[in-house]
Chain A
Amino acid sequence: MARGRIRARIRRSHLYTFACLRPSTVEGDEPHPIQGPGYSRRVHCNASHMHKKKPLKYSSNYISTTRYNVITFLPKAFFEQFRRVANIYFLVAAICSLFEFSPFSPTSMIAPLAFVLGVSMAKEAVEDWRRFIQDLKVNARKVSVHKGGGVFGRKQWRKIRVGDVVKVEKDKFFPADLLLLSSSYEDGLCYVETMNLDGETNLKVKRSLEVTLPLDSDKSFKDFAGEIRCEDPNPSLYTFVGNLEYDRQIYPLDPSQILLRDSKLRNTAYIYGVVVFAGQDSKVMQNSTKSPSKRSSVEKKMDRIIYVLLATLLAVSIISSMGFFIQTKYQMPDWWYLEPQSPQSCYDPAQAATSGFCHFVTALMLYGYLIPISLYVSIEVVKFLQAIFINQDINMYDEESGTPAQARTSNLNEELGQVDTILSDKTGTLTCNQMDFLKCSIAGTAFGVRSSEVEIAAAKQMAIDPAEQESVASSRLGASEIGLERVVTLADEQGPKPSIKGFSFEDSRLMGGNWMRESNADMILLFLRILAVCHAAIPEVNEETGDITYEAESPDEIAFLVAAREFGFEFVRRTQSSVFVRERYPSSGNPVEREYKILNLLDFTSKRKRMSVIVRDEHGQIMLMCKGADSIIFERLAKNGRTYEESTTRHLNEYGEAGLRTLALAYKPLDEAEYTAWNNEFVKAKTSIGVNREAMLEKVSDVMERELILVGATAVEDKLQKGVPQCIDKLAQAGLKIWVLTGDKMETAINIGFACSLLRQGMKQICISAMNSDANPDVKKTSLLFVTHQAVKEDISMQITNASQMIKLEKDPHAAFALIIDGKSLTYALEDDMKHQFLRLAVDCASVICCRVSPKQKALVTRLVKEGTGKTTLAIGDGANDVGMIQEADIGVGISGVEGMQAVMASDFAIAQFRFLERLLVVHGHWCYKRITNMICYFFYKNIAFGLTFFYFEAVTGFSGQSIYDDWYMILFNVFVTSIPVISLGVFEQDVSSEICLQFPALYQQGPRNLFFNWYKILGMMFNGLIASVIIFSFNVLLFAEQAFRRGGQTADMAVVGTTMFTCIVWVVNCQIALSMSHFTWFQHIFIWGSVAFWYLSLFIYGMLSPMYTGNVYQILVEVLGPSISYWWIILVVTVTCNLFYFVHISIERCFFPMDHHIIQEIKYSRKDVEDRHMWTRERSKARQKTKIGFTARVEAKIRNLRGKLQKKQSILITNNAAASPRSRREERP
């Protein structure tokens, strides 16, 4: 049985030395005082039937993330649709069209509306269906549940109820929030992976209460009963307050006994647990926010424009109905030809007021063409096609995982072009969560030649930039003077990639046993031993291959162990008290297995920032081995241990600059007596009871970890995803701000900050952390914490104020600040009274890193940025812990191609790698923004140009509501004649090519600055429409005045004037769109000129139909208009005149106030980029937004720094030589 095997293994809990030897009695623990609101939940363990009726009926384990269900779909989806003002208008209009006063036929009003609603609602339904299927899969997962009498059986997740006892097996997800009762380990431990909750991949230990340990087999649950009283469902992942009443005793529960839904059981054969929170009550579901329906800011603004148009419509209708009222009342009685004495309902001079009102409704519909109904459909179609282009982009296809980019909702395409702040997750998004041992410094000598990604990226940057190259060259010149040894070579990149996971080290001096020949081989030996011995990892032997893999809480340790193995020190076995290392020396050939007795293990905590082991080797020598953060180690060095301090510090700085995680290694030999004395103290501290235990332990450990001797330092690369530094750099150049929100520890986060160049040396770091944030948050102190709440808050407020003050007082224009804040401080900083102060500070900083944040906090920070700055935010993440933030942000991007799909399911766009974000934003975002905004402006233009002609015509028909156009023209107008070219504008237009978008990141700023959808642009386009409508109408009226319009002497009737006006409109709006495009593929030509041709064709065909349908339009083109020269010439003059204004406008704009894309187009057009390559490269480098983050900034800062030093040096030189040659070398300085 598996059970036996596991029992044979060591009790892992003993490794956690601070936790083991914990007093086995629990009398010290008092039950939590649970009462009052917020703590009302009662769970009867193993008695789920008790929870089937009120008041203990809690929600079932069925989860639903859908927005609609079968019943609510229609009303809710309708409601969603009618949030669009225009749709309400069209609904009212469609209803009105059923009555007599409608100027149009009902079909011409209802059909388009039904189409628009149908398309949009079908889209909603499909999207929700996908969510439903996803839920269905989750709800149908199965788990073993106690069915009574000690028998367990499989049950679907959704059928699990609160109080059920479940058995979860290895590598399975927990179906609900469980209270851990027992596990396959006899001390009730289990390992949990919480990747979906906080993004961390390292395992967490959960421990059951001692009292429930005997419940370790199916049978034992036969008579199990107990009652849990605990807090009500809440979203806090890291807290839990409750008591278990079992065997008439009450035991306190804390978060370490709670297994959360969506986390995974690892390394443990099985566990038993009681369901405490199920379904929607579980912490992870409480964390999830309802997936909101997002609308882009362009679309929101569009709504406002529609309000403007509605107001115009209202005004025009009122004018028109007033006119009608006056005409009807005072003049119509004289118009005998209308037979005013036998009135119809709406034309009654005797009841002019009623008629006027009646006409008002008619007018509202008549001028409805001011509101573009097809706009929504066209936008949906265009966005859908744009989304296809995004999905099809081969440059966003990830070869490794085989996933292309995916636009999951097409609503937000143009929003991609307006992003201001990117909020990024770290693990899985920026990093691969894999540590590679890259470099080390032993006894003052640096080893490891491979460059980190950051260095490679920076080197590339230098090589690209000729402008900078000069200065780099000069700085290199200076560098040799100053003593900068490291020269980054590009050749590194071509070197063979390491095949060993976690090990990228390359240096022949250490590899293959060569270290034996180094001068200080004994130090190297010590260094490697520390790597192999000083850790808390466990080896796992693969039974088939015999390979050893390691499991540890942090991936760094794994990297160390892999490195040690590669150097010949393979950690093979751990027993309760010993570590076995197989040491291989090149001289002796055969490996020797050595045993190191672990006497004590002083844990790593984020406050201590170090860990130590005290070992006794085979010779009986006792030694303390310690590794920790350099600052901590250095302050603990002995006087004789500082031999290598200077050189190691230098190396550490270099490593830090290269974005590597560093740790310093030290040791201290101990003699027996010294150790025994200390150990007594330590044991005393460990066995003590009460609040002070931790503090005592810490104090005792601190005594031991002093007077250390420095051995060296390690540098581990937290493997970034491919292309991340470059991408961040580019995004920064495009003017985007990048925040990192991570669940990781502060140190890890800062390291990654360095690796991604979000942080760099010389940047002023503002760390905001709560007081005693790292003191073990023992739940017993909750009450205490409440007392100090106010104090902590004040402290954080102080820190924020001080930091803001510091930024204000900073004079150096190059100074950059980085804000690093931890989750706990964030809880306070996000409170209403403080959040704006915090935001102001954060906005002033070049980079912001929030660490140890919960999913909820990620969402809250996102909301703060979104609402506080009013700018567009984009959140990107890969795990379930990012879902909240992805949903909250204006745009959510999920990383696809990894295991979990939650982030992708919640996202609006899914890309396989972070680096594709650049192309998604800078190319597709930029294009989509321009396309959509251009298209919307044009839509308003054309509808105003068309809609207002109705109004002018009204004025000459006695405001009677007669339309000059045939009903069919009007349907054609929106659907065929003008919509298709608009779609070509919205889908195919490119102001500049994708390469140029990438080469000139500054062009992206046109989006966030909203240059193409500001009121100036919109009103300008509307005014253009107004002019066009006036010209079209007045020219036609003046030309057709009353005389004959053709040689045959015939005069024009309404059909002739109407058709000519409509032809003019078709020409005018199509020429207008051609003018507003800058990129003509054959699609554009076909669509634009094709729709003009289509108009003539349909007029011809329509004219051929029976006069029953066509009335006066019958054969109008062939017989009436075609042969008339006036008809053609009116069109020519009207088309030219209408477009003249816009033409002059764009000519002046381009000639005298050119925008960046104009100039770039011209450079490309005149092939200057080929002829004058120097200029082209210079401009490209200038087009970058000045940034304070990214490796460009790092390179610049470095150059500045070197220059400064050079200058200093020279000025010293000059002063020295002043007497001899007063003007020496002065000219040479640039």
Chain B
Amino acid sequence: MAERGETSSAVGNDAAQVPFTSAQKISKRPKYSRFTQQELPACKPILTPGWVITAFILVGVVFIPIGLASLLASKRVVEIVDRYDEDCIPQSFKNKTLGYMQDDKTNKTCTRSLVVPKLMKSPIYVYYQLSNFYQNHRRYVKSRSDQQLRSKDGEWKTTNCEPESLVGDKGPIVPCGLIAWSLFNDTYKFSVNDTRLDVNKNNIAWDSDRKHKFGSDVYPKNFQSGGLIGGAKLNSSIPLSEQEDLIVWMRTAALPTFRKLYGKIEHDLEANKTITVTIQNNYNTYDFEGKKHLVLSTASWIGGKNDFLGVAYLAVGGICLFSAIAFILVYVLVPRPLGDPSYLSWNRNPAGRWK
């Protein structure tokens, strides 16, 4: 009997079965294909309770180990963070930091002692960390000239570099722009038990930057020779491609608190050793209340010390497992058989009927 039910759609179907009668009619007749008739084979996945629970459990089972592994990796990273900006100002200059920083004659050397909490395996990365420094400010980000950095021919391409583009009649500044102009210029010297620790400052920048973005024939020119002196000065006999500090600096950070690689110490450091750092505190962060940190850190496969990845994985995995349990419980308590017709709107609410 149910077969008869198909007649409801047969109105259209029998038209399809009539064979072509004349050539003239074929022309307008839509060609049958599963594509045009929207009858392509398709998989129609349905979120059955089984699938929902499986998905939750699967996510939980995958995420929790990843979370644990990440957390472990993060925990293994040894990190020494030392804020030195405040302590490196002599007491007498506390209230006139600007004068202190701008005066060439003041002694800006500062010595800090750091204790290694745990064994730090080589390589140990040395970072400087600035905060409240808006390297991502639009005016700052735009103020550079990639053409100029890349090749000698682009020397005059300084339109974006305002206000650090040209020096009076001496021609363009190379490298121009605010970013280069404000190059970080604190320096660190490390020693353990009076033995100097070498800081390897090679290969701290990306290879592609050194090889393709900063030209080996581009030499600093007119740099820091204007009225205002920003940050570091550059040795004008070294091409830009070898000025790795500059290259690192030119990669503007995404957030106002950022670290940049200063160098690498390629010696293991034993636990409880005391490292003496001699800092040339040249860079002025006092004006904008920025902090300066010196960071020594090892790296694991996830990079530096950051628990967030692990925590996020554990949390999401946990939530999923919890949801799985919740769903299972609800299914035990209020089961709904799959495709139970009594849930259809006309069965649930026979009187009201959509009104």
Interface residues of A (CB under 8 A from B): 103, 331, 334-339, 342, 344, 347, 388-389, 391-399, 402-404, 460, 463-464, 466, 469, 723, 726-727, 730, 735, 915-916, 918-919, 927, 953, 956-958, 960-962, 964, 988, 990, 993-995, 998-999, 1002, 1005, 1009, 1035, 1037-1058, 1078-1083, 1107-1108, 1111-1112, 1114-1115, 1119-1120, 1124-1126, 1129-1130, 1132-1133, 1136-1137, 1140, 1143-1144, 1146-1147, 1150-1152, 1154-1156, 1159-1166, 1168, 1173-1180, 1182-1183, 1185-1186
Contact = CB atoms under 8 A, between A and B. Distances in A.
B29 A1140 contact: no
A330 B324 CA distance: 52
Interface in B257-306: 257-261, 264, 284, 287-289, 297, 299-306
B254 A1054 contact: yes
A1133 B15 contact: no
Given A1049-B297, A1147-B47, 12 more contacts: A338-B137, A338-B139, A399-B21, A723-B11, A960-B138, A962-B138, A1037-B255, A1112-B252, A1119-B207, A1129-B66, A1143-B55, A1162-B48
A993 B38 CA distance: 9
Contact of A392 (B25, B37, B138, B257): B37
Contacts of B13: 395
18 contacts: A389-B36, A957-B136, A995-B9, A1035-B308, A1039-B306, A1049-B299, A1053-B253, A1054-B136, A1078-B45, A1079-B44, A1107-B208, A1108-B147, A1112-B252, A1119-B206, A1133-B316, A1160-B344, A1179-B341, A1182-B347
Given A1047-B299, A1054-B136, A337 B178 contact: yes
A1079 B42 contact: yes
A1048 B299 contact: yes
A999 B8 contact: yes
Interface string B315-336: 0100110010001001100101
A404 B254 contact: no
Contacts of A1156: 344-345
Interface residues of B, number: 121
Contacts of B258: 1042, 1051
Contacts of B30: 391-394, 397, 404
B345 A964 contact: no
A1043 B261 CA distance: 10
Contacts of B147: 1108
Interface string B125-167: 1010100011011111100001100100000000000111000
Interface in B218-262: 228, 230-231, 251-261
Closest 4 pairs between A and B when the two form their complex, measured CB to CB: A1043-B304, A395-B12, A1162-B339, A1163-B339
B303 A998 contact: no
Contacts of B182: 336-337
A1046 B303 contact: yes
A1110 B228 CA distance: 31
A727 B29 contact: no
Nearest to B16: A394
A466 B343 CA distance: 22
Contact of B301 (A1047, A1050, A1132): A1047
B116 interface: no
B91 interface: no
A1126 B31 CA distance: 52
Given A402-B24, A464-B5, A962 B253 contact: no
B7 interface: yes
Contacts of B284: 336
A290 to B, nearest CB: 31
A3 B32 CA distance: 55
A339 B163 contact: yes
A1136 B48 contact: no
A1080 B44 contact: yes
Contact of B146 (A1108, A1143, A1177, A1182): A1108
Contacts of A726: 11
Contacts of A1080: 42-45
Interface in B64-122: 66, 70, 79
B343 A1166 contact: no
A990 B162 contact: no
Given A103-B138, A395-B13, A1042-B257, A1159 B341 contact: yes
Contacts of A1147: 47, 52, 327
A1083 B41 CA distance: 10
Interface of B: 1-2, 4-5, 7-9, 11-13, 15-16, 18, 21, 24-25, 28-32, 36-49, 52, 55, 59, 63, 66, 70, 79, 123, 125, 127, 129, 133-134, 136-141, 146-147, 150, 162-164, 178, 181-182, 206-209, 212-213, 228, 230-231, 251-261, 264, 284, 287-289, 297, 299-306, 308-309, 312-313, 316, 319-320, 323, 327, 330-331, 334, 336, 338-341, 343-347, 353-354
B68 to A, nearest CB: 13
Contact of B343 (A998, A1056, A1159): A1159
A960 B209 CA distance: 26
A336 B284 CA distance: 9
Nearest to B25: A402
A404 B31 CA distance: 11
B47 to A, nearest CB: 5
A960 B137 contact: yes
A394 B15 contact: yes
Nearest to A987: B38
Nearest to B293: A1042
A1050 B38 contact: no
A1051 B190 CA distance: 22
Contacts of A1119: 206-208
Contact of B304 (A1044, A1112, A1162): A1044
Contacts of A953: 254
A926 to B, nearest CB: 12
A993 B9 CA distance: 12
B70 A1002 contact: no
B15 A399 contact: yes
A1165 B339 contact: yes
Contacts of B288: 331, 334-336
B36 A1049 contact: no
B303 A956 contact: no
Nearest to A1109: B146
Contacts of B141: 962, 1054
Contacts of A958: 134, 137, 256
B312 A1179 contact: no
Contact of B63 (A392, A730, A1037, A1136): A1136
A1174 B230 CA distance: 86
Nearest to A916: B12
A1186 B2 CA distance: 21
A468 B165 CA distance: 90
A1045 B206 CA distance: 14
B139 A344 contact: yes
B24 to A, nearest CB: 7
A993 B336 CA distance: 24
B255 A1041 contact: yes
* Residue among A918, A1041, A1055, A1179 having the largest count of chain B Cβ atoms under 10 Å: A1041
Contacts of A1143: 52, 55
Given A998-B8, A1168-B339, A1126 B299 contact: no
A1047 to B, nearest CB: 5
B37 to A, nearest CB: 6
Nearest to A1177: B2
A919 B12 CA distance: 8
A1081 to B, nearest CB: 4
A1133 B303 contact: no
Most buried by B among A960, A1124, A1163: A960
Contact of B259 (A335, A1043, A1048, A1129): A1043
B42 A1177 contact: no
Contact of B303 (A990, A1045, A1185): A1045
Contact of B308 (A339, A460, A994, A1039): A1039
